A and B are shown apart, each in its own frame.
Chain A
């Protein structure tokens, strides 16, 4: 059983396009996150939701918009994609301080 699942796993698109990444967790956790991992493997938090409510919003361009329809889902929509958006995006959920990560969605902007 996949605990935190993300789709798609790979996404290749042109600059200027809009794309979405979906995330679902079946662990019953209240808190979910989006992290971005760049080409140097540096992981940076983007957003966090607790029970559908936004609680962390780092300095992220407003082209990135998270949406949490319920506490098991946290989606990420990106408008007007830029070359610098190319990265691996990880969804995670949290329990007792520990994060459970999805397998990542590798976004390549051409």
Chain B
């Protein structure tokens, strides 16, 4: 069964606004990652947060992780039209499953100029 579930499924905002996407998962994890996919392209890694971390930043991206609630959020600040893409969370359970990422179904973000 699918590990990650993302919310919302689609998000439409204006340039300059912040975008927040949420991800929930079911089982224990070693780390959680966020990926971006532009239409018709491959996925690009954005950020990885380990299970013992609560928050991580990278440029305009901020990721939080709450292992007690089995949830994560991705915040994109000061969004740009070029941020328009699908965003996926992926969980890595570690152990013998290390490296096997289980993806959510993604959030489609549209940023209007």
Within 8 A of B (CB), among A89-110: 90, 92, 94, 97-104
Which residues of chain A are near B40, meaning CB under 8 Å? 104
Determine chain B's interface SS by DSSP, over half rule.
Answer: strand
B105 CB-CB contact with A under 8 Å: yes
B70 CB-CB contact with A under 8 Å: no
Interface segment out of the listed B43-51, B55-63, B71-79: B43-51
How long is the Cα–Cα vector from A51 to B74 in the complex, in angstroms?
33
Within 8 A of A (CB), among B61-94: 86, 88, 90, 92
Closest CB in chain A relative to B24 CB, distance in Å: 16
Which residues of chain A are near B31, meaning CB under 8 Å? 97
Which residues of chain A are near B86, meaning CB under 8 Å? 41
How long is the Cα–Cα vector from A54 to B84 in the complex, in angstroms?
36
